[in-house]
Amino acid sequence: MDVLELARWQFGITTVYHFILVPLTIGLSTMVAILQTAWVRTGNEKYLRLTKFYGKLLLINFALGVATGIVQEFQFGMNWAEYSRFVGDVFGAPLAMEALAAFFLESTFLGLWIFGWDKLPKKLHLATVWAFAIGSFLSAYFIIAANSWMQHPVGARYNEETGRAEMTDIWAVLTNNTTLVAFPHVIATAFLVAGTFVAGIAVWWMVRKSREDRSHPDVSMYRTAARFGAVTMLVAGVAVVVTGDIQAKLMFEQQPIKMAAAEGLVHTAEPAGFSLLTIGNLAGNDPDSVVHLVEIPNFLSYMATGDWNAEVKGLDELQEIYAERYGEFDENGEAIEYRPNLAVTYWSFRLMIGLAVFSAAMCAAVFWFTRKGRVIDQEWMSKLALLSLPMPFLAASFGWIFTEMGRQPFVVAPNPTGSDQVMLMTMFGVSNATDVGEVATSMIVFTLVYAVLGVFWFRLLQRYASEGAPHVEYEEPSDDPDRPMSFAY
């Protein structure tokens, strides 16, 4: 492996590790805020217990997310120094906004929420968790804005003298149509992850408690949490489908070769069917061997344009178009392959969609078995709950793998409707100052450290989830200024 390949592997590994944690924080922060709001409004103890229960799991996840997220930005200046030199004027702005505004908003109000249970009035303390949730939304928006600029660069021009992209309109960067479409999809996914997380744990506890003592008050509490999670899954699931359809249509316009690769569509078709099962050499070196065994007729045409009979360009034709527009050969005289890795894009796209089926099954089962005041006591439901828990995490991760791998060979994809000059191929973004040994060492070290952190994350979540919702007694805030702050978890 050379430096480029190792740097790509390292960034991919650290990104997937980090993004496993991100959607749960975004979705669960709001769900915990809703539970605490219900307690403040009703005074019902079960909502306070659920707030404390899921709040502790949120804190564990957030802490690991911060630890893994810090590494991401360091890589831009180390392994990808040439990329940072090219895009720093543009890419750095939303990242700075994320750190200075969103992250500090999150961390400040999270600290007040943790330590303010016995210091702040109820409503003021409630406002802190909502501020934390809003901060997580803002953080996500700025990160999505930065990533969307890489997918569809706007508000910038290419300076031939410096060889860099320079920002011309920050507002255009922040309101990029790619951002405005991707952000709702990411947020909907986060709530699907969090809803499954809340419902899965609640169902497991409901089954356990109802089999021990059906009249136990905890059964009703966990039933409430399960239905709350199911409602969240239902709303988020619909939003994921709608926003995903909109995003797919936009992606067909901006990065048609990515979507053709996602379908294994080698030859232009009119109309084009959506592939459910494809065989052949998906590695990319023999695309003509790819055959669609099972497909939904005309559906890909609809996904691409909204027209059931529209033409969809295939990989071979798009390869020729890209080669003519952006160059046929690299600096070494070798032909540039603009077609992304078919196997990765094809299967990651399907796993992104397919794994979400577990959340749908979980949602339907919860609604059905808890209808009309019923509780769940079937043992197989607790197994379904545990099986469903990791699936939306994996689906979200495969979604990001598809998004990033499908953009290759560009790290900044060209904007065919704007200035094609603002683009950068991945091979030119890697640092010239690092060698194979340095990158390989850092990749191995970070992978091992992240693996250890992953074990801690899982074991801590498992430990505190298996303890169940704690029995708590709320203490009114004290006016004593000398009373020490207490860690509420």
Question: What confidence score (pLDDT) does residue 446 get?
Answer: 87
Q: Which of 5-19, 48-62, 319-333, 456-470 has the lowest mean pLDDT?
A: 319-333
pLDDT tier at 286 (50, 70, 90 boundaries)? low
Q: How far is CA 304 from CA 260, 308, 312, 452, in A?
A: 10, 9, 7, 42
- CA 310, 315, 321, 323: dihedral to nearest 10 degrees? 170
pLDDT tier at 486 (50, 70, 90 boundaries)? low
Distance CA(113)–CA(125), nearest Å, equals 6
Distance CA(398)–CA(400), nearest Å, equals 5
- Residue 356's nearest CA partner among 457, 244, 275, 455 is 244
Q: Which of 49-53, 186-190, 195-199, 289-293 has the lowest mean pLDDT?
A: 289-293
pTM above 0.85, yes or no: yes
> CB–CB of 257/318 below 8 Å?
yes
Tell me the per-residue pLDDT of 209-237, one tens digit each, with 9 for 90 and over: 888 887 778 899 999 999 999 999 999 99
* 419-437 CB burial, b ≥16 within 10 A, e <16: eeebbbbbbbbbbeebeee
Distance CA(52)–CA(59), nearest Å, equals 10
Distance CA(151)–CA(86), nearest Å, equals 15
Question: What confidence score (pLDDT) does residue 287 get?
Answer: 62
Tell me the per-residue pLDDT of 14-61, one tens digit each, with 9 for 90 and over: 889 888 999 999 999 999 999 999 999 999 999 999 999 999 999 999
> Taking the CB of residue 122, how many other CB atoms lie within 10 A of it?
16
Question: What confidence score (pLDDT) does residue 65 get?
Answer: 87
Which tokens go with 477?
């805030």
Listed by start position, the domains of the chain span 3-158+165-252+399-467
> Taking the CB of residue 296, how many other CB atoms lie within 10 A of it?
12
- Residue 50's nearest CA partner among 198, 178, 172 is 198
DSSP character for 475?
-
DSSP character for 433?
S
> CB–CB of 210/248 below 8 Å?
no
Q: How far is CA 471 from CA 51, 221, 225, 485, in A?
A: 11, 12, 16, 21
pLDDT of 392 strictly over 90: yes
> CB–CB of 306/249 below 8 Å?
yes
pLDDT tier at 461 (50, 70, 90 boundaries)? very high
Report the mean per-residue pLDDT for the chain.
Answer: 88
| DSSP notation for 46-70 | HHHHHHHHHHHHHHHHHHHHHHHHH
Question: What confidence score (pLDDT) does residue 314 get?
Answer: 87
pLDDT tier at 129 (50, 70, 90 boundaries)? very high
Query: SS3 for 128?
Result: helix
Q: Which of 40-49, 140-149, 293-302, 377-386 has the lowest mean pLDDT?
A: 293-302
pLDDT tier at 419 (50, 70, 90 boundaries)? low
pLDDT tier at 250 (50, 70, 90 boundaries)? very high
Question: What confidence score (pLDDT) does residue 191 get?
Answer: 97
Question: What confidence score (pLDDT) does residue 67 get?
Answer: 81
Q: Span 346-355, mean pLDDT?
A: 90
pLDDT tier at 69 (50, 70, 90 boundaries)? confident
pLDDT of 284 strictly over 80: no
Phi, psi of 424 (to 5 degrees): -155, 125
- Residue 200's nearest CA partner among 363, 411, 11 is 363
Distance CA(87)–CA(368), nearest Å, equals 51
Phi, psi of 271 (to 5 degrees): -80, 170
